[in-house]
Structure 1
Amino acid sequence: MIRAAQKAELEKTLWRTANELRGHVDGWDFKAYVLGMLFYRFISENLTHYINAGEWEAGATDFDYAKISDEQAMTIRDGIVEAKGFFMPPSHLFENVWGCAAGKGTALGMKDPEATEFREQQLNLFIKEVFNAIEESAIGTKSEDDIKGLFEDIDVSSTRLGNSVPQRNKKLFELLETIGSLSLGTFEDSTIDMFGDAYEYLMGLYAADAGKSGGEYFTPQEVSNLLARLTVVGKTSVNKVYDPACGSGSLLLQFAKVLGKDNVRMGFYGQELNRTTYNLARMNMFLHDINYAKFSIAHGDTLTEPQHQDEEPFQAIVSNPPYSTKWVGADDPTLINDSRFAPAGVLAPKTKADLAFVMHMLHWLATDGTAAIVEFPGVLYRGGAEKKIRQYLVDNNYVDTVIQLPPDLFFGTGIATCIIVLKKAKTDNDVLFIDASEKFRRNGNKNVLLDEHRHEIVELFSNREDVKYEAHRVSNETLAENDYNLTVSAYVEVEDTREKTNIVELNAEIAELVTNQMTLREEVEAIVAELEADRAEVGVANE
């Protein structure tokens, strides 16, 4: 209960202060500063705890890395970089920079400026120096690619923070104060979870606030969780997990929650085209305490410049690739000979790369692996090249399951998406269709998949049995006869929820109404006749 209450209060504080701080800066742009500062605090405290724990275990129970000199710290620099992937001297730690700017004592190893002068004139330059030093500490080491450019989106000299140096520094100091004041516990009582929760919560809110432009880089956690659970049914561990369009990394990180990060034995792999989101994904890995040696997030176009050829195949693949995005397609004649796309004999349309991602993932999927991919519904029924690719997938028995999701789950779009599950070593020759379109609860202006809904979907997926109105197995031959249409509604009967009418009872009611009507008519006619008779008598009397 304390954890839940602490999390709720944290979320409330985070969003309120993030909105107050950004001023006139667009929320999606300002996220780099808030998330970057949260990341800065995390790696400072995580590094301090790691070093302190080692000293305490050795008997130096009063040791505090944040209070030793930079010169002393340099003696363990190489070992720290080997273990954590980077190095920060004590003077660069978040708590010391914040303390100096707040006038609570200067950071060790720094000159002794007046707090006001430091805060107003030097803070942004010093923070830039700190970030540069973190990246430089990894140069020439195994972690260089994981650290390089990590802070490039946090421009502490940008006019977006203010038109003058004092204005910019005022905003940065407010950020330090806000992030530094957050109650996140200690590393012994789930601080890592709290940092990770805060980061994911903020990413979700920024994506919602940005609409489509943010939603394409962030998959709601409950959908991410469902995808991860679908790919590990029957498994307690996997070798590697992969997402070729990883966005902020939320899908990959669900495996750490579903299986435990140590049960992803050889690591987390992803690629992202957007440079800013690529940086956020790497931060997200660190914030969830995934060591640099256990993840590889690459930057670039997966379809034309795949970055993890030496690591495939992958036992679990999850993805929510961009819908109907453009790619070079047939304009590059070499792609039809690419081993990823060649088997289908046709390339995905230039204006709709959806199934190009599917072919890429299928090629990199391990024989005993599972891929779960969120798709725009059009890929299930459109003709042309997409139909030919579906034919290849069905005829070769790679399509395991198609799941229809509810509408309005994602940020920036209200469409009802679907999930295609692929396997290379199926034991049957049919496809399971699941209609989960009604498994949701309305929450504000979006629909959400509750844990009970996800459990029901995974149960249907695991049991692989026909369930009226919910699941139906269809042979590959039938799919071929139906022009390779993979739309769930074509195979799962929709329950008629209209009130059922008892014909016998209805006929009896009608007969009774007719009888009553006839009786009423006779009574009315009698009254009319009586009135006319009275009128006639009055007329005779008047004569």
Structure 2
Amino acid sequence: MTETNQTSQSLYQALWNSADILRSKMDANDYKSYLLGMVFYKYLSDKMLFYVAETMEEETDDLNEALATYRKYYEGADSHDDLVDVVKDEMSYAIEPDLTFTALVNQINEGRFQLESLAQGFRNIEQDDELFENLFEDIDLYSKKLGATPQKQNQTIAAVMKELAVLDVAGHAGDMLGDAYEYLIGQFATDSGKKAGEFYTPQPVARLMTQIALSGREEVQGFTLYDATMGSGSLLLNAKRYSKSPNTISYFGQELNTSTYNLARMNMILHGVPIENQYLHNADTLDEDWPTQEPTNFDGVLMNPPYSAKWSADSGFLQDPRFSSFGTLAPKSKADFAFLLHGFYHLKQDGGVMAIVLPHGVLFRGNAEGKIRQALLEEGAIDTVIGLPANIFFNTSIPTTVIILKKNRRNRDVYFIDASQEFVKGKNQNIMNDDHIAKILEAYHKREDMDKFAHLASFEEIKENDYNLNIPRYVDTFEEEEVAPLSGIVQKINETNQRIDQQTAELKNLLGQLVGTTPEAQEELEKFVQGFKG
């Protein structure tokens, strides 16, 4: 198959443009399900057609040619059953020729497309393998939002499919489509604010956390990674970038929102994660522990939970092994430490590394949170605290912190990095670039004091601060302003007065040119000018 010369940027633009048809009809939180679901269906369809053409030794990069090959052998009395068996064995699904994305677009162009055909295609894939069960349940092709009548609904979906038809989703090398998928998720998060931002961690933060979790273990085979608030799965999937054995990573993830859970399932498939390496669960992380069967402790834990979420904090949780050793529970109004302790509980004793993003309040709030923080510090569990810039997330402008936790550390010191100024200003959000991330990672690995940027605090120092981890207590970023000489100040005052006199003279001149339209207006104007000159 020839590699497309379409750049990543033009691919992203084409995908984004295809959303224009739906933007006027619904908000981004709704239309993401339609658009991403159809992109995924096209991916499955195109991948299958090209696989069949290659298998039958009629390889091509033209989808219509591949469809013709598929149709020939699918409709052949001698070859039908064998072909379907081979395709299902390789793909775990087999789409009928007339229900492939390519065939449906041809029907659209010929004016005979029926929405029910796409709906049937969705149902067939869902029934082919448990991997795809209920995968398209969020896509209501008969929703009134798409149009008031069946005909209008048909037209809307047909228009979206025609836009998507130009994309070479199966022909791109590597993870380009998966990356484009994440690009779109990021765009949706920007477009719909908090609603969509709940399930997306900006890529720079995800890369920072993943590199820390994998640091020194890039060569490890069979690495296990867990995200108990996985959203779209993009935080987990970053591990593929940094592992030398990406196909051996096992991904464990849990997500409460069913739509977002389905999105993560699609994202895993798009990134080529083997089915046997996906362990995804749709449930409430805090209400009931998961996973409870082997494995339950992981090499890496990555989390970006909803900030200061409410939870039940029921007294029964004091007997829950995730929380029982701390003797208290995170407050009902702020579940931050409940999420942190859940992730920490599932971290391997030896060599496990956890990275979690939380608001700064967890570093210094008192009462139950103070007791939990003190217990973690006495245990030596908190390894590093990294302060991130404000306004880098899609759903909040508040500054956040990445906390690194480890079990069985030999000492109880804590390394503080103040990266709050490591950003460039963007149109809507502040942006951390590769240089910013590299600077943080270099400091993390050296674990040395760096003026106005990082400090290694001993346990005694932390104890003296009453177990308060507020970063400014440990990293002094105060910049003393340069005092200007008196002669320079006098000169600036004189220059300012000169500009005032010049602009006042110009204004008086303009006022002198004004003429009232009536005798009364003229009289009022003259009094005003006289008073101004006063």
TM-score under structure 1 length normalisation: 0.82
What letter corresponds to residue 39 of structure 1 in structure 2?
Answer: F
Q: How does 1:378-393 map to 2 (within 5 A)?
A: 378-393=361-376
Q: Find out whether 1:125 has 2:116 as its counterpart.
A: yes
Q: Find out whether 1:151 has 2:136 as its counterpart.
A: yes
- Cα distance in 2 for partners of 1:297, 1:339 equals 22
What letter corresponds to residue 359 of structure 1 in structure 2?
Answer: L
Residue-by-residue CA offset, 1:328-347 (whole Å, 9 max, x unaligned): 11x2x321111111111111
Structure 2 counterpart SS, 1:68 = helix
Deviation of the 1:16 alpha carbon: 2.9
Q: Find out whether 1:403 has 2:386 as its counterpart.
A: yes
What letter corresponds to residue 22 of structure 1 in structure 2?
Answer: R
Structure 1 counterpart SS, 2:301 = strand
Q: Find out whether 1:363 has 2:345 as its counterpart.
A: yes
Q: Find out whether 1:89 has 2:96 as its counterpart.
A: yes
- Cα distance in 1 for partners of 2:459, 2:92 equals 49
Instruction: Show the counterpart of 2:128.
Output: 137
Instruction: Show the counterpart of 1:28.
Output: 29
The verdict on how the C-alpha distance between 1:251 and 1:496 changes in structure 2, with shifts beyond 3 A counting, is same
Residue-by-residue CA offset, 1:341-387 (whole Å, 9 max, x unaligned): 11111111111111111111111101211010000111111111111
- Cα distance in 1 for partners of 2:164, 2:123 equals 20
Structure 1 counterpart SS, 2:318 = helix
- Cα distance in 1 for partners of 2:249, 2:259 equals 26
Q: 1:300 aligns with which of 273, 279, 283?
A: 283
- Cα distance in 2 for partners of 1:352, 1:269 equals 25
Instruction: Show the counterpart of 1:448.
Output: 431
- Cα distance in 2 for partners of 1:432, 1:240 equals 26
Instruction: Show the counterpart of 2:526.
Output: none
The verdict on how the C-alpha distance between 1:210 and 1:389 changes in structure 2, with shifts beyond 3 A counting, is same
Deviation of the 1:497 alpha carbon: 5.8
Q: Find out whether 1:320 has 2:304 as its counterpart.
A: yes
- Cα distance in 2 for partners of 1:222, 1:54 equals 40
Instruction: Show the counterpart of 1:176.
Output: 161
- Cα distance in 2 for partners of 1:345, 1:80 equals 55
Contact 2:379 2:412 in 1 (8 A): no
Moved more, 424-433 or 464-473: 424-433
Residue-by-residue CA offset, 1:424-482 (whole Å, 9 max, x unaligned): 13243200000001111112121111011111111111111111111101112221221
Instruction: Show the counterpart of 1:212.
Output: 194
Contact 1:21 1:174 in 2 (8 A): no
Moved more, 164-173 or 286-295: 286-295
Structure 2 counterpart SS, 1:224 = helix
Instruction: Show the counterpart of 2:326.
Output: 344
Q: 1:201 aligns with which of 183, 190, 197?
A: 183
Contact 1:252 1:318 in 2 (8 A): yes
What letter corresponds to residue 177 of structure 1 in structure 2?
Answer: K
Moved more, 283-292 or 392-401: 283-292
Structure 1 counterpart SS, 2:331 = coil
Q: 2:469 aligns with which of 486, 505, 508?
A: 486
Q: Find out whether 1:250 has 2:234 as its counterpart.
A: yes
Deviation of the 1:51 alpha carbon: 4.0
Please, what is the CA RMSD of the aligned residues? 2.5
Deviation of the 1:264 alpha carbon: 5.7
Contact 2:74 2:84 in 1 (8 A): no
Deviation of the 1:7 alpha carbon: 1.6
Instruction: Show the counterpart of 1:474.
Output: 457
Residue-by-residue CA offset, 1:406-429 (whole Å, 9 max, x unaligned): 010001211010000001132432
Contact 2:229 2:304 in 1 (8 A): yes
Structure 2 counterpart SS, 1:33 = helix
The verdict on how the C-alpha distance between 1:76 and 1:347 changes in structure 2, with shifts beyond 3 A counting, is farther
What letter corresponds to residue 254 of structure 2 in structure 1?
Answer: Q
Q: How does 1:10-25 map to 2 (within 5 A)?
A: 10-25=11-26
Q: 1:280 aligns with which of 248, 260, 263?
A: 263
Structure 1 counterpart SS, 2:229 = coil
Structure 2 counterpart SS, 1:251 = helix
Instruction: Show the counterpart of 1:108.
Output: none
- Cα distance in 1 for partners of 2:432, 2:103 equals 42
Contact 1:237 1:264 in 2 (8 A): no
Deviation of the 1:180 alpha carbon: 1.0
Contact 2:18 2:164 in 1 (8 A): no
- Cα distance in 1 for partners of 2:474, 2:105 equals 61
- Cα distance in 2 for partners of 1:318, 1:3 equals 34
- Cα distance in 2 for partners of 1:219, 1:160 equals 29
The alignment of Structure 1 onto Structure 2 pairs a total of residues equal to 476
Moved more, 205-214 or 80-89: 80-89
- Cα distance in 1 for partners of 2:478, 2:316 equals 48
What letter corresponds to residue 301 of structure 1 in structure 2?
Answer: D
Instruction: Show the counterpart of 1:102.
Output: 109
- Cα distance in 2 for partners of 1:5, 1:43 equals 20
What letter corresponds to residue 100 of structure 1 in structure 2?
Answer: Q
Q: 1:417 aligns with which of 400, 409, 415?
A: 400
What letter corresponds to residue 326 of structure 1 in structure 2?
Answer: K
The verdict on how the C-alpha distance between 1:415 and 1:3 changes in structure 2, with shifts beyond 3 A counting, is farther
The verdict on how the C-alpha distance between 1:373 and 1:264 changes in structure 2, with shifts beyond 3 A counting, is farther
Residue-by-residue CA offset, 1:166-225 (whole Å, 9 max, x unaligned): 1111011111111111244x53x51x5231122111111111111111111111112111
- Cα distance in 1 for partners of 2:355, 2:80 equals 46
Deviation of the 1:57 alpha carbon: 10
Q: Find out whether 1:377 has 2:360 as its counterpart.
A: yes
Deviation of the 1:495 alpha carbon: 4.0
Deviation of the 1:162 alpha carbon: 0.7
Contact 2:93 2:125 in 1 (8 A): yes
Q: Find out whether 1:65 has 2:50 as its counterpart.
A: no
Structure 1 counterpart SS, 2:123 = helix
Q: 2:82 aligns with which of 71, 75, 83?
A: 75
TM-score under structure 2 length normalisation: 0.84
Unaligned segments of structure 1, at least 5 residues:
104-115, 139-143, 514-543
Structure 2 counterpart SS, 1:231 = helix
- Cα distance in 1 for partners of 2:423, 2:331 equals 33
Q: What percentage of aligned pairs have identical amino acids? A: 37
Contact 1:48 1:66 in 2 (8 A): no
Deviation of the 1:80 alpha carbon: 4.1
- Cα distance in 1 for partners of 2:283, 2:262 equals 12
What letter corresponds to residue 164 of structure 1 in structure 2?
Answer: T
Residue-by-residue CA offset, 1:62-83 (whole Å, 9 max, x unaligned): 9843653267454344554444
Q: Find out whether 1:233 has 2:215 as its counterpart.
A: yes
The verdict on how the C-alpha distance between 1:451 and 1:494 changes in structure 2, with shifts beyond 3 A counting, is same
The verdict on how the C-alpha distance between 1:79 and 1:357 changes in structure 2, with shifts beyond 3 A counting, is farther
